[in-house]
Amino acid sequence: MTERYYVVREDLLPDGILKTEQAKELLRRGEAATIHEAAERVGLSRSAYYKYKDGVYALEQASRESIATLAMDLEHRSGVLSKVLGVLAASEGNVLTISQSIPLQGMANVVVSIDISPINGALPELLGTLRSLDGVKKVSVVGRS
């Protein structure tokens, strides 16, 4: 299913979505030290914050970010994930989220969302570098915004 995006006037949005963006803004500006503090200050539950946080962006914030979600199959060996993260850091890609499955039969699936705006179109080169790492068996882009 293809993701669809909408531009919606602020006064039409439900409170949970508005408060999530307000909490994210407090965190971005350093006015709140933790998600708990930011959510509490805007009158939002942490569960609502986590529900909406990855899908709510102010239009000016979304236009500055370019997010790619990568799915990787990695051998379950010490240092493989560390090498992947090192390559992402060296390319100036900022890791936003990371999730790893429990390794089965010596392989683990890792899904990483990264802000690729600093990479300036060099995603193909980054993918090639990741694929060339020892212990990386598969890399694919599963989402991009």
- Phi, psi of 103, rounded to the nearest 5 degrees: -60, 135
CATH number of 67-144: 3.30.70.260
Rounded Cα–Cα distance for residues 113 and 99 (Å)? 9
What would the pLDDT profile of 70-82 be if each residue is shown by its tens digit?
999 999 999 999 9
- For residues 17-32, give the mean pLDDT: 89
- CB neighbours of residue 126 within 10 Å: 21
Highest mean pLDDT among 11-20, 44-53, 129-138: 129-138
pLDDT band at 3 (very low <50, low <70, confident <90, very high): low
| pLDDT surpassing 90 at residue 110 | yes
pTM of the complete model: 0.56
